[in-house]
Amino acid sequence: MNESDYIYCERCGSPMKKDARYCMKCGNLNYNHPDNQKMKNYAPNEQKTYQVGSGKITPNTAFTANSSEYATNTGNKKLFLIINILWFLLTYGGSLLLGFLHIINFGVVALIFITLSLFNIYFISLEIINMKANKPWWGAIIPIYNNLLLAEIAFGKMIYVIFYFIPIVNFIFILITFYQLGKKFNKNPILTMLFNILMLPIIAFGASTYMGVNYIDLKDKNAVEKEFKIRKRLLYCILLFFVLGFGGLIYFNMEHVDTLVGSANDKLFVENAKSVVKKVKRKVNDGSFNCLEETSLKPNSTHYFVFTNIEDELSIPSFDNKIATAYVKIFNNNGVLEYSISMTNGEKGIYEVKEEELNNVTLNLDYKELNTVPRENECFLE
């Protein structure tokens, strides 16, 4: 009996010969056996089905056990694991050591972690995809040869690789290659084509098989499950370093982040102040400013117009989600109305800044200076 003449039990996942009538481990019938064909009619509608490589038994009959063939060309899988672990130690460990030796700062180390993680997840995905298609894993890291293998996996022939080297055509052909790759591994081909950077790891680290075939070493009856667990651990390791890098990048650059956030908040503060002044000017121009109905602005006289809740008045976001208080001073400079604004959010603000000076204002007001402001929406003459 050839080693390639094995299948997996659809109930428990144990290897069994294709011509076996039932699984020796759990007794599940092999309905592909000629003597069991009639018995298939009596099989439960929702028979528990084992999905090879997933480590799961599911009642969903859409998942069926994959056939298996002897892996003849994947390369040494133990060497694959050893090389990648050594690569992790050299790159991640080396960059961390440079940080401890103060040769580079830890902000740079964090950035290296992120870059390495993206690099590793892409190329290790290609290595695993090669093995799933019974191709040498090391071919994924050899220039040109990796394209030859990818063309063969996607189209069945290496000759298609010539399209990679034709300008303009190569871009279209790469998209078609990923489309075909999705079909070969029973994944959505359009998603694989458009979002290959995400789909390649899903294909590689998941339970997907190349055209429904597991290429494994059948001498080890648990080979599929062992390989699946190893791939998952590699993925978790890469993701861990990515998260560490991302978190470190934020932590060691927190000062710059605070500066950027503070700058954005100050800009929002000033934009709100401009909006308040514009609203007051509209009230003055359309005659709805009550104080102007009682007395006209005489030369060198001043009116104050008060807003207490800027968020409610203007229907725009407040500052750091706090209630803002402001008042606008209108000054009649020999017939020309000049506007200045004072405003605070309880932590910082501006005091009697002219409208034309708002773009260059610095927020440093002690908010207690506005404690004497009149009540909401009130105006008074000075």
Residue 208, SS3 per DSSP: coil
Which run of H or of E encompasses 20? none
**What is the pTM (predicted TM-score) of this model?**
0.58
Joined together, the tokens standing for residue 67 give 């056939």
Short-list 175, 201, 50, CA closest to 119: 201
Q: Is 326 helix (H, G, I), strand (E, B) or coil?
A: strand
Contacts 24+ apart (CB under 8 A), 350-359: 350/269, 350/273, 353/273, 355/274, 355/277, 358/270, 358/273, 358/274, 358/277, 359/270
Across 43-57, 97-111, 307-321, the highest mean pLDDT is recorded for: 97-111
- Over residues 141-171, the pLDDT tens digits come to 999 899 999 999 999 888 888 888 888 888 9
d(CA 200, CA 237): 17
How do residues 180-234 score in pLDDT, each as one tens digit?
999 999 899 999 999 988 999 999 988 788 888 878 766 665 677 777 888 888 9
Strands 56-58 and 67-70: unpaired
227 near 217, Cβ under 8 Å?
no
Q: Which residues pair with 51 in a beta bridge?
A: 56
Instruction: Identify the pLDDT of residue 64.
Output: 44
How much is the average pLDDT of 262-283? 79
The pLDDT, as a whole number, for residue 29 is 76
Cα distance between residue 330 and residue 189, in whole Å: 66
Contact between residue 284 and residue 337 where contact means Cβ atoms under 8 Å apart = yes
- The residues with which 379 forms a beta bridge, in sequence order, are 305
pLDDT 10s digits, 280-327: 888 778 776 666 554 556 666 677 776 655 555 444 444 555 567 788
Domain ranges within the chain, ordered by starting residue: 6-65, 77-252, 262-381
Residue 21 phi/psi, 5-degree rounding, is -75, -30
Q: Which uninterrupted H or E stretch holds 7? A: strand 6-8
Q: What is the pLDDT of residue 237?
A: 93
Beta bridge partners of 344: 325, 349
Q: Tokens for 59?
A: 């009642």
How many whole angstroms separate alpha carbon 2 and alpha carbon 218? 10
For the record, the structure tokens of 281 come out as: 């000017």
SS3 label, residue 70: strand
| Nearest partner of 354 among 341, 337, 363, 373, judged by Cα | 341
User: Where do the H-state alpha helices sit in the chain?
Assistant: 77-88, 94-100, 106-132, 145-155, 169-184, 189-194, 196-205, 223-251, 254-285, 290-294, 310-314
The answer to whether residues 381 and 314 touch, using CB atoms and an 8 Å cutoff, is no
Residue 45 confidence (pLDDT) above 60: no
The confidence score (pLDDT) of residue 183 equals 92
